[in-house]
Amino acid sequence: MQEEKITTVRLILGDQLHYGHSWYKHVDSGNLYVLMEVKEEAAYVVHHAQKVIGIFAAMYNFSTYLRKRGHRVLHLLLDDPRNKQSITANLDWLMVATGARRLEYQLPDEYRLDEVLKQFAQKAPYAVVAVDTEHFLTTREAFTEIFGERKQYLMETFYRKMRQQYQVLLQDNQPLGGKWNYDHDNRKAFKGEADVPPPLGLQHNYSTIWQAITSSGIVTIGAPRAECFDWPTTRKEALCVLDYFVKALLPHFGMYQDAMHTRFAFLFHSRLSFALNIKLIGPLEVIRKVEAEHHQFPERVGLEQAEGFIRQVLGWREYVRGLYWKRMPVFGQENYFNHQGQLPKWYWTGETKMNCLKHAISQTMEHAYAHHIQRLMVTGNFALLAGVHPDEVDKWYLGVYIDAFEWVELPNTRGMSQYADGGVLGSKPYVSAAAYIDKMSNYCKSCFYAKSLRYGDRACPFNSLYWNFYLQHYELLKGNHRIAMMIKLVDKIEESEGQKIRQQANHYLENIDTL
């Protein structure tokens, strides 16, 4: 029997694996679905091995799913001789080879690819149509609709609007429990008060995929863990991770959200970001599940645990995306403090005597994962205090985490963590000396450096670097009322003390690779 003619090619990017997308509701053999493993996408930054394996495996599983549903699929593998290793170069030959007269793609989440595909469409001699990914709860334009043309965009304003729009944790349109935000209850250090459940333990053997990646010459970092790959790569598995989260981890999630511990890389975190970002699972189903668990078992899953989680997904996740589309491409070039430094070499190995950084970086290399406070208050904090160029910091974060895609990585890194936007996202720089890290973790207890010393060979580098940061950027920070107390303390620093701080900080900065 002759195969039906292909009329439309539908492109699916590696982070667009949305099983419920309306594209797949009806089978039409005139449509060819195309997924491509390409070196170009694996090379715009050096990615963690698990990120590349995870994306390729999830693409493979998604292709299999579509085929089983009766759809026509071309999954272009890395070593396919036809593969030109670039999305647009592949589209060029594919459109000719199939004779299709129409190309459809889902709106990319990343500015770079969005521009590439827009330009490609302008030149194409056939119809090109972009459709929504049907994944997010807000549109790219949400920020302008909510905030107009303001200079600052408060997450809390955005979050409340989202709660109302989607009727989440509300009663008579008012927040359940009388408060919108239980942030103050989300800051407990973990001292072993509860058992930390072991990771769910998905076990895949993806060594064939890993072999193909290495043979193709793609450069990666970090441990592949290909034979015991434990990130979800199908929708079914993503749902298992969600299930495990609400049953085993959510009861303690909010409380220990900011805690860090040498023995537990994941603590009570969901590890859902990868599945969410490649769209195996949707934000609303995650939110509804957590909300339902709270309603059904309020004793076990207190409001502060549920709200603490929902705020991240309904609030922060949608908020950073809105800000990304509002502020790109300028956002990606900002450098408020004019920092020019390089990342210390040990950011790639974890080989440093600074225990907090050693743990946060080593687990990043081992699991392609660190939780929010490790990213913000350990690695991000240090990079900002050390004056590293935001481009370098962005590149690192975009590469090392399995969940890193620019729309979410860049606002968090350049905006929240590095304050390179001068305070559009966050109202003050997230910097701290050792005291905060000590309060929220057990890292300092077994550290080579002394958390309470500011001067000397054993002084914790965070301490002098912290005060040095305020002295160095005094003019840029003195008008910020959120840090008025700090500025008062800086004003009290005598000239001789200031010199000692600078000396100690400069000594550390000059020897940064050996800290």
Residue 462 C-beta: closest distance to ligand SF4, Å: 5
305 binds ligand SF4 (CB under 6 A): no
CB of 375 to ligand DLZ, least distance (A): 18
Q: Which stretch binds ligand FAD (CB under 6 A): 174-182, 222-230, 290-298, 409-417?
A: 409-417
Give the residue with the Cβ less far from ligand SF4, 36 or 260: 260
Q: From CA 43, how far away is CA 24, in angstroms rounded?
A: 30
Q: Which is nearer to ligand SF4, 260 or 303 (CB)?
A: 260
42/250 with CB nearer ligand DLZ: 42
Tell me the one-letter amino acid at 485.
Answer: M
Residue numbers 426-455 binding ligand SF4 by CB under 6 A? 434, 437-438, 443-444, 447, 449, 451
Q: Regarding beta strands 31-36 and 72-76, do their DSSP bridges make them parallel or antiparallel, or are they unpaired?
A: parallel
Q: Is residue 320 a contact residue for ligand DLZ (CB under 6 A)?
A: no
Q: Which residues contact 351 (CB under 8 A, 6 or more apart)?
A: 358
Closest distance to ligand SF4 from the beta carbon of 434 (Å):
4
Closest contact distance (angstroms) between CB of 71 and ligand DLZ is 17
Bridge partners of residue 174, in order along the sequence: 171
404 binds ligand FAD, rule: CB under 6 A: yes
Spatial separation of the C-alpha atoms in residues 214 and 307, rounded to whole Å:
43
Residue carrying the six token digits 């023995």: 263
Compute the radius of gyration of the chain from its Cα atoms.
24
Angle at 396 between CA 35 and CA 504, to 5 degrees: 175
| Interface pick for ligand DLZ out of 34, 49, 52, 290 (rule CB under 6 A) | 52
Q: Within positions 340 to 399, which residues make up the interface with ligand FAD, using CB under 6 A?
A: 371-372, 375-376, 380, 397
Binding partner of residue 449 among ligand FAD, ligand DLZ, ligand SF4, none, CB under 5 to 8 Å per kind?
A: ligand SF4
Residue 34 is a binding residue for ligand DLZ (CB under 6 A):
no
Peptide bond connecting 197 to the previous residue in cis, omega within 30 degrees of 0? no
Site for ligand DLZ in 386-405 (CB under 6 A): 405
Residue 161 to residues 167, 174, 181, 319, 425, Cα–Cα distance (Å): 9, 11, 13, 11, 17
**Which of 17, 38, 73, 286 contacts ligand DLZ by CB under 6 A?**
38
CB 286 within 8 A of CB 305: no
Of positions 34, 55, 281, 357, contacts ligand DLZ by CB under 6 A: 55
Question: Of residues 9, 32, 37, 313, which one binds ligand DLZ by CB under 6 A?
Answer: 37
* Residue 62 binds ligand DLZ, judged by CB under 6 A: no
DSSP string, 219-247: --BS---GGGB-S--SHHHHHHHHHHIII
**Which parts of 234-273 interact with ligand FAD (CB under 6 A)?**
269-273
Which region, judged by CB under 6 A, interacts with ligand DLZ, from 32-40, 91-99, 208-216, 247-255? 32-40
State yes or no: residue 13 binds ligand DLZ (CB under 6 A): yes
Taking the C-alpha atoms of residue 271 and residue 25, their distance in angstroms, rounded to an integer, is 29
Is 508 an interacting residue with respect to ligand SF4 (CB under 6 A)?
Answer: no
Query: How many residues contact ligand SF4, by CB under 6 A?
Result: 13
Parallel, antiparallel, or unpaired: how do β-strands 31-36 and 8-11 relate? parallel
Among 355, 374, 418, 504, the residue binding ligand SF4 under the rule CB under 6 A is 355
Q: Tell me if 73 sits within 8 A of 113, measured CB to CB.
A: no
Helix (H) / strand (E) element for 117: namely helix 111-123
CB 59 within 8 A of CB 17: yes
Residues numbered 405-434 forming contacts with ligand DLZ, rule: CB under 6 A = 405
Residues in CB range of 337: below 8 A, 6 or more apart: 384, 387, 419, 420, 473, 476
The answer to whether residue 312 forms part of the interface with ligand FAD (CB under 6 A) is yes
Pairing of strands 8-11, 102-106: parallel
DSSP 8-class letter at 300: T
Q: Which does 444 bind (CB under 5 to 8 A by kind): ligand FAD, ligand DLZ, ligand SF4, none?
A: ligand SF4
- Which residue of 57, 416, 501, 512 would you call a contact of ligand FAD, by CB under 6 A? 416
Number of residues binding to ligand FAD, judged by CB under 6 A: 28
Residue 460 binds which one of ligand DLZ, ligand SF4, ligand FAD, none, with CB within 5 to 8 A depending on kind? ligand SF4
CB under 6 A: which stretch of 104-112, 230-238, 328-336, 416-424 binds ligand DLZ? 104-112
The verdict on 180 binding ligand FAD (CB under 6 A) reads no
* Residue 109 in contact with ligand DLZ, rule: CB under 6 A: yes
Encoding tokens for residue 29? 């053999």
Number of Cβ within 10 Å of residue 480's Cβ equals 14
Choosing from 6, 17, 34, 36, the residue that interacts with ligand DLZ (CB under 6 A) is 36
User: Do strands 170-171 and 174-175 pair parallel, antiparallel, or not at all (unpaired)?
Assistant: antiparallel
Binder among 316, 331, 382, 469 for ligand FAD (CB under 6 A): 316
Contact indicator for 417, 430 with CB cutoff of 8 Å = yes
Burial letters 118-156, b for 16+ CB under 10 A, else e:
eebeeeeeeebeeeebebbbbebebbeebbeeeeebebe
Cα separation of 307 and 253, whole Å?
10
Site residues (vs ligand DLZ, CB under 6 A): 13-15, 36-38, 41-42, 47, 52, 55, 108-110, 113, 405
Site residues (vs ligand SF4, CB under 6 A): 354-356, 434, 437-438, 443-444, 447, 449, 451, 460, 462
Site residues (vs ligand FAD, CB under 6 A): 269-273, 276-277, 309, 312-313, 316-317, 320, 371-372, 375-376, 380, 397, 401, 403-404, 408-409, 412-413, 416-417
